[in-house]
Amino acid sequence: MNVKRTAEIYKEIQQTICHILEEADGSGKFTEIGWEKEIGSGITCVMQNGSIIEKAGVNFSNVQGNFNANMAKLLGENASTFAATGISSIIHSGNPFVPTIHLNMRYFKLDNGSSWFGGGIDLTPAYVNLDETRLFHQTIKDICDRFDIGFYPEWKTWADDYFYLPHRQETRGIGGIFFDRIHPSDQNDFEKMLKLTAELASIYPVIYSQLIKNNGHKNYTEAQKKWQKIRRGRYVEFNLIYDRGTKFGLETEGNTESIMVSLPTEVEWVYQYHPEPGSLEAQTLEFLKKGIAWV
C-alpha cells in the first residue's frame, strides 16, 4: 500500500515538474512515452531542443519482481521479491551559464520486511556562481530542517562523497544532498519521509526556473560552450562509471532510452585540457571539492 501511494504522489509530481519546466523554457515541449516491461511500467517525459533546455528527462517508474543475484549484490540484502517506485530527472541547458541539475527520489520495499527511501538533488554548473550555489544549498537545507535538523548536514556530506569522480579527483558539481537506506521506523515516519521527498521533488523545477531566469539570456562565446561540453564529459563519466541508478537500471534490464536520457546531447573529450590559470574555468575547478560549507 505504501508503494502504491508513493507511486501515485511521485507520478503527479512528474506532471507538475514538466509543466513548470515548459513554462520556464518558453518554447520546448515534453513528449511523454509510457513503457511496460515484465519488471513494471513507467513514464518517460523528455524535452529536447527547447529555447534554453537542451535536454531534460523526467522519469517515473514503478517496478516489482523477483530479487535476483545482481540486485542482492548491489543492495547488499537478501529477499525474494522487491517493489520500487521513483522519480528521477536531469536537465541540461544549452547555455553554459545555466547549470545541469539532477533529482532522484525513490522508495524501495523488499518482502523481507525491509523498506527505505533514497534520493538526492545536486547541481553541476560549468561556471560556479557563488550566490546561486549558496541559495541552492540554503533552499534544500530549509526544507530538510523542517523535518529533521540532522538531515542536511549528514546528507550534504553524503552528496560530496557520492557525487565524486576519484579518477579526476573532482566532485561532479557543487553538490547538494544525497541519502539512501532511510528506513522508516513506523507509519508516521514513512509519512514524514514521503512528505519530505515530495517537497524536495516539488521545489526542483522551481529552483531550475529561477536559474533559467537568472542566466538563460546571457551571451556566451564558443570557448565557453566548449568548456561546458568538456565539463559534460565528466558528467557522462560519473553516470556511466559510478552512478548507482544507472547501474541498477542496466542490471535490472530497465528501459535503456529512459536511463540514457540522463546524458547531455553534445559532449566533448579533449586530451590534456587545462584552463588558463586565473580564468573563470580554472576558478570553477577550485570549487569542485568535497567539504565546502556553502551555508
**Residues labelled catalytic:** 102
Residue 33 touching a copy of itself (CB under 8 A): yes
How near is the Cβ of 102 to a copy of itself at its closest, in Å? 16
Which amino acid belongs to residue 60?
F
How near is the Cβ of 69 to a copy of itself at its closest, in Å? 16
User: Per CB under 8 A, which region of 104-112, 200-208, 250-258, 279-287 contacts a copy of itself?
Assistant: 250-258
Single residue of 146, 181, 269, 282 touching a copy of itself by CB under 8 A: 269
Taking the C-alpha atoms of residue 11 and residue 107, their distance in angstroms, rounded to an integer, is 13
Instruction: For residue 39, give Cα distances in angstroms to 84, 230, 292.
Output: 10, 36, 40
Fill in the per-residue mask, 193 to 222: x = in contact with a copy of itself (CB under 8 A), - = not in contact. Answer: ------------------------------
Count of positions (residues) in the chain: 295
Gyration radius of the chain over CA positions: 19
Residues 6+ apart with CB under 8 A from 108: 75, 82, 83, 84, 115, 116, 117, 118
Strand 170-171 with 175-182, pairing: unpaired
Contact by Cβ (8 Å): 156, 176: yes
Residue 101 touching a copy of itself (CB under 8 A): no
How near is the Cβ of 258 to a copy of itself at its closest, in Å? 9
Taking the C-alpha atoms of residue 79 and residue 76, their distance in angstroms, rounded to an integer, is 10
How near is the Cβ of 175 to a copy of itself at its closest, in Å? 21
The x, y and z cell numbers of residue 11, run together, are 507520478
- Comparing CB distances to a copy of itself, the nearer of 23 and 257 is 257
Contact by Cβ (8 Å): 53, 18: no
Taking the C-alpha atoms of residue 40 and residue 7, their distance in angstroms, rounded to an integer, is 12
- Comparing CB distances to a copy of itself, the nearer of 46 and 193 is 46
Walk across the sheet containing 100-110 and list its strands.
31-37, 40-48, 53-66, 81-93, 100-110, 115-124, 175-182
Residue 156 touching a copy of itself (CB under 8 A): no
How near is the Cβ of 136 to a copy of itself at its closest, in Å? 26
Contact by Cβ (8 Å): 99, 123: yes
Residue 17 touching a copy of itself (CB under 8 A): no
- Comparing CB distances to a copy of itself, the nearer of 139 and 255 is 255
How near is the Cβ of 62 to a copy of itself at its closest, in Å? 21
User: Per CB under 8 A, which region of 1-9, 80-88, 185-193, 234-242 contacts a copy of itself?
Assistant: 234-242
Residue 55 touching a copy of itself (CB under 8 A): yes
Of 165-194, binders to a copy of itself (CB under 8 A) are 166-168
Residue 261 touching a copy of itself (CB under 8 A): yes
Residue 106 touching a copy of itself (CB under 8 A): no
- Comparing CB distances to a copy of itself, the nearer of 267 and 295 is 267
CA nearest neighbour of 165 among 241, 99, 101, 229: 241
Residues forming contacts to a copy of itself in the complex (CB under 8 A) are 33, 46, 48, 55, 57, 166-168, 233, 236-237, 240-241, 250, 253, 256-257, 259-261, 263-272
